[in-house]
Structure 1
Amino acid sequence: MTTMTETSARFREFKMPDVGEGLTEAEILKWFVQPGDTVTDGQVVCEVETAKAAVELPIPFDGVVHELRFPEGTTVDVGQVIIAIDVAPGSGDAPAPTPAAAPAQEPVEAAPADSGDAPKGRTPVLVGYGVAESSTKRRPRKGASAAPEAAAVAAAVQAELNGHAAPAAAAPAPAVPAQGGAPDGGRPLAKPPVRKLAKDLGIDLATVVPTGKDGIITREDVHAAAAPAATTPVAAPAPSQAAPEAPAAAVASDSARETRIPVKGVRKAIAQAMVGSAFTAPHVTEFVTVDVTRTMKLVAELKEDKDMAGVRVNPLLIIAKALLVAIKRNPEVNAAWDEANQEIVQKHYVNLGIAAATPRGLIVPNIKDAHDKTLPQLAAALGELVTTARDGKTSPAAMAGGTVTITNVGVFGVDTGTPILNPGESAILAVGAIKLQPWVHKGKVKPRQVTTLALSFDHRLVDGELGSKVLADVAAILEQPKRLITWA
């Protein structure tokens, strides 16, 4: 499969590619072009968010934007056409989007696969790998109101994109039933993002009372329908009984008292991964409190070192190097569990993950082959990783293949925690806040810089002795940083 198709010699279509490894959908976050704009090969036309990261998509040919098939905020399946390009502008008047193309602002629904057809293999696409070729078709509209409904939705969506109110319909607005948004038994009127919201919340649009113009269901209508369902348990009727009609008073809710946020994209992937990790890998967490005064002095000295000029030096850099040395001394900790083959896979490389909090949620990009990097190289890699994560530019590839992870909860003033393993990894080190505390040093109580470390590990791979050795080595290096030289 390719990410583009040819509808004629003049118009070409660009499909949603698999921007990660085997992802099936992505949400269009932002369009950078509009119909009529000229685009060139390699120009970024939109930003999409997958379950792993936000990714910018470049167009692979020159031309003029003819049509955007989906508005911002729509979740689109991999393989669906998202934009049409006029590759031969000036050769004649371009036809206006057909009635079938206008409702394409709504997600396409895949037709059930024919059980007699064998699936084709995936082939490389623009970014990552695509899915097998499959036929897709739209669900036919039912009822005589299908055409007016499509026109109303298309007009409303286009008006929203243009930033002004939807024009009044030329024909009289269809009658809206009192208990639902389906006009004359047809399909309820709602924009694609609203349909997606209803799907995420498990709300049947046919039961939602619309308040929008021309009987269109709004986000507020969906939230209002969801609120009583979540707060008032209702016994499911027996299969042979019809569900009683809910009284009108039960629909009312105070939407100002709560906010519902659909779980999707990166946040949804994190939730699924953490649940899978917590209930698959038997976690064990060990703790140690350590005097890091000498490490803090080393950080101050490195900031003045000319060999470290241009890179950011902080305690996390020394902690990362200490963990890498501890792994070198205890290589068995750097492994993965192969459930299918019932094997322990020992890694002879370290892809060091760094947990980063971003506006889109927690992500864990990793530094590839961190074990081979010098201290200045490691500092540069850490700085680039953090900057890219904060800018929301971390690629799916940067988050794949990690072996061990560091999470610095100390930046939030937290002493320590019991971190959950990143799926597929053997261990994760949590670093607490570094604080000035009374500490016995050389037989006397003195104020010293102290922190608490917590190491969680997969007990299928790492037993208590091995986990203790790794954590003790990290603590010993942070207490006496010269061990970075004697133990390396």
Structure 2
Amino acid sequence: MSITMEKLFNLPDLGEGLTESEILSWRVAEGDTVELNQVIAEVETAKAVVELPSPFSGVVKKLYEPVGAVVNVGKPIVSFEVAQAPGTSSPEAPRADAGAEKPQPTLVGYGAPTESSGRPARRARRTGAVSAQSPLNDEPVGSAAAAPPVQATDEVEAETRAEASRGIGHLRSSPPVRKLARDRGIDLQSVQGTGTKGLITREDVMHAAPGETSPDRSTSSKNAKAAPAPAPSSGDTRTPIRGVRKATAAAMVASAFTAPHVTVFLSVDVTETMALLERLRASKRFAGVKLTVTSLVAKVVTLSLARHRALNSQWDGENREIIEFGHVNLGLAAATERGLMVPVVHGAQRMDLAALAAAAGDLTHAAREGTITPPQLTGGTFSISNVGVFGIDAGTPILPPGQAGILAVGQVRKMPWEYQDEIALRQVMALSLSFDHRLVDGEQGASFLAEVGGILEDPGMLMGLI
């Protein structure tokens, strides 16, 4: 005779220290029978959409979070009724009444350990030189580093305790929602929650009419009124800041205010390179391979980085070291429906042009289809962004965190150009190189860009680098 036990499944750590995920869909419902490793949910991290497999065979007892909820790593999302023979115990997961602190098998690991506050703790940062098979923790642009876990300020915690003492806790709202209500002068007592079990959501507060602050707030502020929010318009839209957009914003701010950026520009006559590109596309060796201008630039960059290692390095302030990498993990910025993402071709220096083009095409396709995995978005050592596909000549790209350089490739367009002491109509491209001035001197950055531009102007110069 067998008995059943309730088993909790906590949101797993999906890799690289990601601290939260949004539930996009449930593939099961309460009461469904599931098998081990059956996909039960689809979640979106700051980097990718991931399918979660069931860690148990049994019956779904409870779904703890609705679709659209953003859940911290280590928090329960579903429980199962699992059959178990009498007299045996399962080390696989904690009992339903044992809390979420004990480790349990998950999709990737045991999940982020929880602190006394119940929030997931950050992993310790890995340092030192890293091989191509062990990518860095530092994040590229579009998946740029996931934002660190938000720690509640003393003020918010104090307000939360005060609200609990006033009996507001039963209104079922999160601290950020309560803070929003205070800022807008909304009395939560008058707000009808539309979330699960009456949860008051951010949208409920945003749609509530501003008015007097709560009685306690009014007393402490001598009947002062909160500043009214801008009047909503029928054409306004509000989108939660989460996922890729949230991670990208955090990474860009961190990079812009950490690394001193310098950008240098160079316009190049790429007529010969474009002719070479057409010949390669027509050859049997590249049959079935999508060769692009970016592919050629990527190959030139990987070869040039071996001669200009300062551009393929990292500033490790924590250990007071500069790491010069012996490999090239090349990030390739891609615009997707979820936002900017930067897939990484690991070990790009070992690939020939055909292999590099194929790898870049596969990763970019996966990013746009939403099937790319977190490891494929991390560990970049240098990046390329083709802004020319949007009809742009040049720009000043922001460095991905942890990288020393990023090259923006502009559009190729015909324009008058000096050629063999005459004015001719040539195909011209602008290159923009941003670099970290702590790691790269002006001469080093200019020398690298001049070499890349020189090869694109005369691709026969590649022979000098092979």
Shorter-chain TM-score bucket reads 0.7 to 0.9
How much has 1:447 moved relative to structure 2?
Answer: 1.6
- 1:117 aligns with none
Looking at structure 2, the residues matched to 53 and 398 of structure 1 have their Cα atoms a distance apart, in angstroms, of 10
SS at match of 1:482: helix
Choose from 223, 231, 235 the match for 2:206. Answer: 223
Equivalent of 1:20 in 15, 22, 46: 15
Aligned twin of 1:300: 278
Shift of 1:387: 0.6
Paired letter, 1:242: S
Query: Counterparts of 1:387 and 1:226 in 2: how far apart (Å)?
Result: 45
Point out the more displaced range, 249-258 or 57-66: 249-258
Gaps of 5+ in 1: 1-7, 92-100, 112-119, 138-181
Which of residues 344, 352, 359 in structure 2 aligns to 1:374?
A: 352
Which structure has more RCO (C-alpha within 8 Å, separation ≥ 6)?
A: 2
Give the conservation status (yes or no) of the 8 Å contact 1:290–1:479.
yes
Spell out the pairing of 1:338-487 with structure 2 (5 A cutoff). 338-487=316-465
| SS of the residue 1:258 aligns to | coil
Cross-structure match for 2:298: 320
Instruction: Report the residue type matching 1:46 in the other structure.
Output: A
**Aligned residues, how many?**
403
Change (3 A) 1:32 1:125: closer
Would the aligned equivalents of 1:334 and 1:403 in 2 still touch at CA under 8 Å? yes
Secondary structure at 1:307 match in 2:
helix
- Contact conserved, 1:188 with 1:206, CA < 8 A, in 2? no
From 28, 32, 41, give the equivalent of 1:33: 28
Using a 3 Å threshold, how does the CA distance of structure 1 residues 320 and 243 change in structure 2: closer, same or farther?
farther
Deviation by residue 1:104-136 (Cα, 9 ceiling, x = unmatched): 9xxxx999xxxxxxxx9x998431562226678
Structure 1 residue 265 and structure 2 residue 235: aligned?
Answer: no
How far residue 469 of structure 1 moved from its aligned partner, in angstroms, is 1.1
- Mapped to 2, the partners of 1:52 and 1:410 lie a distance apart of 24
- Pick which of 212-221 and 383-392 moved more: 212-221
Post-superposition CA distance 1:435-466 (Å, at most 9, x none)? 11111222222221111000001111110111
Please report the RMSD computed on the Cα atoms of aligned residues, expressed in angstroms. Answer: 3.8
> How far off is 1:206 after superposition?
6.5
2:315 to 337, 348, 355: 337
> Cα offset for 1:482?
2.1
Cα displacement (A) at 1:189: 4.8
| C-alpha distance in structure 2 between counterparts of 1:203 and 1:462, whole Å | 48
Cα separation, 2, equivalents of 1:52 and 1:43 = 23
Matched, 1:76 2:56: no
Report the CA distance between 1:78 and its aligned residue: 1.3
Deviation at 1:279, TM superposition (A): 1.0
How far, CA to CA, are the matches of 1:442 and 1:14 in structure 2? 70
- In structure 2, what residue type is equivalent to 1:424? G
Contact map agreement 1:402 1:425 (CA 8 A) in 2: yes
Aligned twin of 1:179? none
Gaps of 5+ in 2: 87-95, 119-163
Contact 1:434 1:449 in 2 (8 A): yes
Q: Distance in 2 between matches of 1:295 and 1:226?
A: 62
Q: How does 1:86-165 map to 2 (within 5 A)?
A: 86-88=81-83, 125-128=106-109, 130-132=111-113
Distance (whole Å) between structure 2 residues aligned to residue 244 and residue 390 of structure 1: 53
Counterpart contact for 1:22–1:130, Cα < 8 Å? no
1:305-331 Cα deviation digits (max 9, x unpaired): 211122211111001011111112222
> Deviation per CA, 1:180-238, whole angstroms, max 9, x where unpaired?
xx9x9554656x8xx58836957579624436789875665422359899xxxx9xx99
**Identity within the alignment, %:** 47
* Residue in structure 2 matched with residue 59 of structure 1 by the alignment: 54
Deviation at 1:57, TM superposition (A): 1.4
Q: Secondary structure at the match of 1:483?
A: helix
Question: In the aligned structure 1, how far is the partner of 2:104 from the partner of 2:57?
Answer: 23
**Which whole-Å CA distance do the structure 2 matches of 1:375 and 1:473 have between them?**
18
Cα displacement (A) at 1:293:
1.3
Q: Which moved more, 1:258-267 or 1:318-327?
A: 258-267
Residues 1:198 and 2:150 are matched in the alignment: no
Deviation at 1:365, TM superposition (A): 1.9
- Give the Cα–Cα distance (whole angstroms) in 2 for the partners of residues 58 and 430 of structure 1: 39
| 8 Å CA contact 1:203, 1:222 repeated in 2 | no
For 1:403 and 1:251, how far apart are their aligned partners in 2? Answer: 44
CA distance in 2, matches of 1:38, 1:295: 59
- The one-letter code sitting in structure 1 at the alignment partner of 2:44 is E
- The equivalent position to 2:37 in structure 1, one of 22, 42, 51, is 42
124-133 or 424-433, larger mean C-alpha shift: 124-133
Partner of residue 164, structure 1: none
Deviation digits for residues 411-433 of structure 1 (CA, Å, limit 9, x no counterpart): 11111111110000010000111
Q: Which residue of 2 is the match for residue 147 of structure 1?
A: none
8 Å CA contact 1:123–1:131 kept in 2: the answer is no
The structure whose Rg is larger is 1
Distance 1:436 1:196, change over 3 A: farther
The answer to whether the 8 A contact 1:15-1:80 is kept is yes
